[in-house]
């Protein structure tokens, strides 16, 4: 599917029912949400709006993304699922990001941000992943992280140790997320972890539409 078709489909799925008296044309709002999630900082998104004579502040863009409440599609069925964890910075503090990717499509299936690395958090991540998607019979690709392998055993999931190959799909996602959170720190400056978690789900929605 051509990238512009995916972009059009993504715009159609952005629901603006939360809008009451917003003066910005809805098409520009949708484009701003999409561009911010895909590549633009909130500052550059504001500059994009200025091209069309629309004067908005960065917090407005943030509120649009937050209120749109975008979520990656559920109910996916995958033969393989690559799962990994990494550290990202949130307002100067370290948090652990768990992510699951379908290596065949590179779609981001699920993300979860936690304040520390703990077995219970890994267990919860897998429980949510299995609830959202039909992956009980999938082969899970994990690295040497003991907490991930332990969680697979606890949920009776078939897993395989893999450090490269299909596992690179998760690394690609992590590189993009780290680039976004490092270069566009205004996304997470003074933000609560819950806000960052919501942004990551919205990012997953956009990622799946545009990869």
Residue range 7-21, pLDDT digits in tens: 445 677 888 888 877
Calculate the average pLDDT of the chain: 83
What is the CATH number assigned to the segment(s) 80-191? 3.30.420.10
Q: Tell me the C-alpha distance between 21 and 3, whole Å.
A: 32
Question: What pLDDT does 115 receive?
Answer: 86
pTM given for the model: 0.80
Share of the chain above pLDDT 70, in %: 84
Asked whether the predicted pLDDT for residue 206 surpasses 90, the reply is no
Question: What pLDDT does 181 receive?
Answer: 61
Residue range 99-123, pLDDT digits in tens: 999 988 888 999 998 888 889 999 9
Query: Would you list the domain boundaries of the chain?
Result: 3-68, 80-191
Asked whether the predicted pLDDT for residue 75 surpasses 50, the reply is yes
Question: What pLDDT does 21 receive?
Answer: 75
Question: What pLDDT does 203 receive?
Answer: 85
The model's confidence at residue 189, banded by pLDDT at 50, 70 and 90, is low
Which residues pair with residue 141 across a beta bridge? 82, 160
Contact yes or no for 33/11 (Cβ under 8 A): no
Q: Which of 73, 75, 32, 78 is nearest to 52 (CA)?
A: 32
Question: What pLDDT does 6 receive?
Answer: 42
Question: What pLDDT does 169 receive?
Answer: 66
Which residues pair with residue 11 across a beta bridge? none
Asked whether the predicted pLDDT for residue 25 surpasses 70, the reply is yes
Asked whether the predicted pLDDT for residue 91 surpasses 80, the reply is no
Q: How far apart are the first and last CA of the chain?
A: 10
Those residues with Cβ within 8 angstroms of residue 159's Cβ, 6 or more apart along the chain or in another chain? 139, 140, 141, 142, 148, 149, 152, 153
Highest mean pLDDT among 32-36, 45-49, 70-74, 158-162: 45-49
Asked whether the predicted pLDDT for residue 187 surpasses 60, the reply is no
């Amino acid at each position: 599917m051509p990238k512009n078709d995916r972009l059009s489909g993504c715009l159609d799925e952005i629901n603006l029912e939360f809008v009451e008296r917003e003066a910005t044309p809805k098409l520009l709002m949708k484009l701003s949400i999409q561009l911010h999630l895909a590549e633009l900082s909130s500052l550059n998104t504001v500059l994009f709006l200025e091209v069309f004579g629309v004067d908005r502040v960065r917090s407005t863009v943030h509120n649009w993304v937050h209120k749109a409440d975008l979520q990656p599609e559920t109910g996916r069925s995958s033969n393989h699922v690559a799962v990994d964890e990494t550290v990202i910075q949130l307002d100067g503090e370290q948090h652990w990001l768990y992510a699951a990717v379908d290596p065949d499509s590179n779609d981001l299936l699920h993300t979860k941000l936690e304040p520390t690395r703990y077995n219970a958090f890994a267990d919860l991540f897998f429980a949510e992943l299995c609830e959202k998607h039909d992956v009980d019979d999938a082969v899970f690709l994990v690295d040497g992280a003991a907490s991930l392998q332990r969680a697979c055993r606890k949920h009776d999931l078939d897993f395989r140790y893999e450090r490269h190959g299909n596992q690179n799909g998760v690394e690609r996602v992590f590189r993009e997320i780290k680039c976004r959170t490092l270069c566009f720190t205004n996304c997470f400056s003074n933000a609560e972890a819950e806000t960052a978690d919501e942004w990551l789900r919205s990012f997953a929605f956009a990622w799946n539409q545009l990869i």
